Amino acid sequence: MLVSFAAMGKKAKTAISPTREEDYPQWYQQVIRAADLAETSDVRGCMVIKPWGYALWENMQRELDGMFKATGHKNAYFPLFIPKSYLEKEAEHVEGFAKECAVVTHHRLEDDGAGGLRPAGELEEPLVVRPTSEMIIGASFAKWVESYRDLPLLINQWANVVRWELRTRLFLRTAEFLWQEGHTAHATEAEAVAETEQMHEVYARFAEDFMAMPVIKGAKPAHERFPGAVATLAIEAMMQDRKSLQAGTSHFLGQNFAKAQGIEFLGEDGKLAHAWTTSWGVSTRLIGGLRFGLAMTP
């Protein structure tokens, strides 16, 4: 005769403790550790992505990179450091990221005379560690774009970014994370809107067809838009704790950033005009979505 643990007054042993029902956030952290995907770093808010976890990112990166190139985008790389004055050019943008920025103010260390080191060589202008790249990439676009023949300009960057988070969770929210960020410039508003919608659809297709993660597609309300954007489209995935996870975003920036950065072109009509721009991105948060629970079982 079989006797259940409950009948014997004993608690069943689980592979992961606590269980999802007991403490969902802690269960998630333990799953990440048990799967040997990542661990917390000695740098507060940052993580070490271990080989199993990075292999997941490589697989995602490989698939997404193919999808980007199939839609005409090319990869490039831009500086990690952004002059503070660049961020100040677009008021709404700088306001949206100001509280999350890490700032470099000195360029060397020197002996403090007490066995330690102190910063020395103060920079003429502080440098912000990349929270996102609209402003630094826009500076290059302003140089590259002269005529309507230079458009559309379709660029993607695989990089890391820093957003100074105080409350972190492995993969889902860390001070430093890996991502890709697409940046494009167009001759017309219609072309830029079409690009925003196209990449929104690419993200949804990747999530559902490659990750088997159902998502809800839609536009963010004004108070949740990317700082400086005219519109933000997002894919949201339902996690097992019945909370949504923002899994990817595509932003129509209008001419806001082009005007701030001087991205102008000579049109077919012989007149100067500002370009219409977009940006879009997904990050290693997708690995968190994969582990946090793809969808509720009916």
Task: Assign residue 76 the CATH number of its domain.
Answer: 3.30.930.10
Interval 72-89 mean pLDDT: 95
Interval 23-45 mean pLDDT: 91
Give one DSSP letter per residue of the chain, joined into a string.
Answer: ----HHHHT-PPP-SSSS-TTT-HHHHHHHHHHHTT-EEE-SSTT-EEEPHHHHHHHHHHHHHHHHHHHHTT-EE----SEEEHHHHTTSHHHHHHHGGG-EEEEEEEEEE-SSSSEEEEEEEEEEEEE-S--HHHHHHHHHHH--BGGG--EEEEEEEEEE---SS-BTTTB-SEEEEEEEEEEESSHHHHHHHHHHHHHHHHHIIIIIS----EEEEPPGGGSPTT-SEEEEEEEE-TTS-EEEEEEEEEEETHHHHHHT-EEE-TTS-EEE-EEEEEEEETHHHHHHHH-SS---
Q: Is the pLDDT of residue 158 over 60?
A: yes
Asked if residue 87 is part of any domain, the answer here is no
CA angle 94, 143, 231 (to 5 degrees): 40
Quote the pLDDT of residue 216.
96
User: Taking Cα atoms as reference points, which of 179, 175, 88, 164 lies closest to residue 125?
Assistant: 88
Read off the pTM. Answer: 0.91
Asked if residue 5 is part of any domain, the answer here is no
- List b or e across 34-73, with b for residues whose CB sees 16 or more CB atoms inside 10 angstroms: eeebbebeeeebebebeeebbebbeebbeebeeebeeeeb
Asked if residue 283 is part of any domain, the answer here is yes
Asked if residue 115 is part of any domain, the answer here is no
Q: What is the pLDDT of residues 86-107, one digit of tens each?
A: 988 876 777 777 888 999 999 9
pLDDT class of 161 with cuts at 50, 70, 90: very high
Tally of domains in the chain: 1
Q: Is the pLDDT of residue 143 over 50?
A: yes
Q: Is the pLDDT of residue 145 over 80?
A: yes
- How many residues are recorded in the chain? 298
Asked if residue 221 is part of any domain, the answer here is yes
User: Taking Cα atoms as reference points, which of 117, 99, 260 lies closest to residue 166?
Assistant: 99
Asked if residue 104 is part of any domain, the answer here is no
Q: What is the pLDDT of residues 228-286, one digit of tens each?
A: 999 999 999 988 878 889 999 999 999 999 999 999 999 999 999 999 999 999 999 99
> 105: which 2 tokens?
């103010």
Rg (CA), the chain: 23
Quote the pLDDT of residue 242.
81
Asked if residue 216 is part of any domain, the answer here is yes
Distance CA 99, CA 175 (A): 12
Q: How many CB atoms lie under 10 A from the CB of residue 93? A: 24
Asked if residue 279 is part of any domain, the answer here is yes
In terms of residue numbers, what domain contains 138? 18-82+130-292
Written as one letter, the residue type at 41 is S
